[in-house]
Amino acid sequence: MKSRRTFLKQMGVVSAGLPLVGPQLFSFNPQQSPANEKVLRVALMGLGGYAKRVAEAMKDCKRAKVTGLISGTPEKLKEWGALYNVPEKNRYNYQNFDSIKNNPDIDAVYVITPNSLHHNHTIRAARAGKHVICEKPMAISVKEGQEMVEACKKAGVHLLVGYRMRFEPHTLEAVRMRKEGELGAIKFFQGLSGFRIGNPNQWRLNKELAGGGALMDIGIYAINGCRYMVGEEPIWVTAQETKTDPVKFKAGVDETILFQFGFKSGATASCLSTYNMNYLDRFFLNGERGFIEMQPATGYGPIRARSNKGEINAPVVVHQTVQIDEMAAIILDGKKPEIPVDGEVGLQDLRIIEAIYKAVETGKKIPL
């Protein structure tokens, strides 16, 4: 069995190891589900730092459990298999995981590999007859995203994207307030998403693996958040890029991009995506009769929010636990989420990302 590092090198890319993340800062007390409810059996693909967070969160899931593992590193398969009680017959590498089609212990594959690998991994999982949960961004191009959507439709399986914030209670309350007219007509949104990135050799700074830079990672929170907070799709975009470290942020890897949206209603948005500034995790939504501010808006927790009426008090949850349980209900029960998380949602983010990059390149307003 070849290691993940070897596998990636064969594809002409560098190691895809994800950085470890810190401990949970919040708690979650789920209600026990009825014993007769089905449980979604999930194989995790790409055993890096974020997969570890997902696996730990899934210990508290009532509708889902980890039953399979996919990695190019034999040591990880052995270690994770023992840790999460996954038998050896349910452990796969990147070369042989297509055989999961014959494994009744696995219903879905959660793709948590680097961005450029999502396309291949999603299509292969779909052809194996398994539902797919794919981390964001869904792909590195609109073309790839469309092929993923079509492959899952053809296979008759769900394609969901890991938009955990679309299940987060403070976010849902903010969207409810906007939908019910408590803010009046929406006029403006601001989304700030950024942090100072560390190791210059990590996959997120490799264009072949990431498909770009900050915009393809942290910036997607501002893009996606703008869409569900405003409640409209943008009809045009303008954008400007700033790069202060061309050694760390090579050609095709953006450091900081400021971008603006316009909407059919007349609302506008101003957003920032960066790998060179900390403490940027804020949403602000302005309406004729009120506002909502979220800060932190998308971090792992706890999320904090307030409006012109005061604090928004919503349950503090482990995002990934809620996300996977809700996705299990979508797949197993046909539940309709309050805010969609399907492949079409991911595809629209990719269209917007491509338009932002085009606006940076041309200096022009790009219609959407």
The residues that are catalytic are 136, 221
User: Token pair of 179, please?
Assistant: 């939908």
Q: Which amino acid is at 110?
A: Y
- Distance, in Å, from the CA atom of 355 to the CA atom of 298, rounded to the nearest integer, reads 23
> What stretch of H or E contains 55?
helix 49-58
Nearest CA-CA partner of 356 in 219, 250, 244: 219
From the number of C-beta atoms within 10 Å of its C-beta (0-12, 13-18, 19+), residue 94 rates as buried
- Judge if the upstream peptide bond of residue 200 is cis by omega within 30 degrees of 0: no
Cα-to-chain-centroid distance, residue 207: 18
Half-sphere exposure of 226 (CA within 13 A, CB side): 31
Which residue carries 């959407």 as its tokens?
368
- Judge if the upstream peptide bond of residue 296 is cis by omega within 30 degrees of 0: yes
User: Token pair of 81, please?
Assistant: 């298999």
Q: Which amino acid is at 366?
A: I
Nearest CA-CA partner of 122 in 48, 46, 180: 46
